[in-house]
Amino acid sequence: GENVEQHPSTLSVQEGDSAVIKCTYSDSASNYFPWYKQELGKRPQLIIDIRSNVGEKKDQRIAVTLNKTAKHFSLHITETQPEDSAVYFCAARSGNTGKLIFGQGTTLQVKP
Amino acid sequence: NAGVTQTPKFQVLKTGQSMTLQCAQDMNHNSMYWYRQDPGMGLRLIYYSASEGTTDKGEVPNGYNVSRLNKREFSLRLESAAPSQTSVYFCASMIGGFGYTEAFFGQGTRLTVV
């Protein structure tokens, strides 16, 4: 079945440090991999995504990488700031059904 | 332009009671989804509707039913609530094409079953 595993479940860093969140997926037909950020008490919102024909994508302080062979993708946040504190979800879109399956979430805490 | 609207925002039910969570979107999207969010478990898919008139089970459909009333509305019904259904429920409307899907979430419904 379709499954997305996300690690770590919690991550605490000092302001200015980098943070890395990793995900693996099981469905080899998955073709799109978004990342969502959920601030406390708010709804998840898309922050960056990557398609299956691309290996890396950057947007200012955030970047995503994809290794299709290993079925693995990662979110990298550089120069972290307190406002980066949130829950981050990775997801994979099934190439067969189009369903969006989410990982378990990572709670990122950036300490000032 | 409201986006995705869920009602109610909060609800407390007694075990065995029933209720319907309402979701409406004004973005003319074909696909709509229901997820539940539990600590450490992420967003788990309950049911989804790829287009008006179709619904399909997700990862955790047991104890739930859905209705895609029209293109705008997708409701989730709990026929006989159980404490294990205590959760935050999110409806999402999705736009996508080949190799792309963006989810727009409602504000969530915090449900407690006692």
Give the model's pLDDT for residue B74.
Answer: 97
Residue A104 forms contact with B (CB below 8 Å): yes
Nearest to B42 among A46, A93, A104 (CB): A104
Cα–Cα dist B24/A73, whole Å: 33
Residue B95 forms contact with A (CB below 8 Å): no
Q: Coil, helix or strand for B98?
A: coil
Instruction: Name every chain A residue with its beta carbon within 8 A of the beta carbon of B96.
Output: 93, 98
DSSP notation for A37-68: EE-TTS--EEEEEEETT-SEEEETTEEEEEET
Interface of B with A in 36-55 (CB under 8 A): 40-45, 48, 50
Answer whether B81's CB lies under 8 Å from B14's CB: yes
Does the pLDDT at position B97 exceed 80?
Answer: no
Residues A22-37 have pLDDT tens digits of: 999 999 989 999 999 9
Residue A45 forms contact with B (CB below 8 Å): yes
Answer whether B62's CB lies under 8 Å from B105's CB: no
Residue A101 forms contact with B (CB below 8 Å): yes
Give the model's pLDDT for residue A72.
Answer: 96
- Give A106's pLDDT tier (boundaries 50, 70, 90): very high
Cα–Cα dist B101/A32, whole Å: 8
Nearest to B106 among A43, A45, A105 (CB): A43
Cα–Cα dist B25/B4, whole Å: 4
Strand arrangement of the beta sheet that strand B19-25 belongs to: B4-7, B19-25, B74-78, B64-68
Give the model's pLDDT for residue A69.
Answer: 93
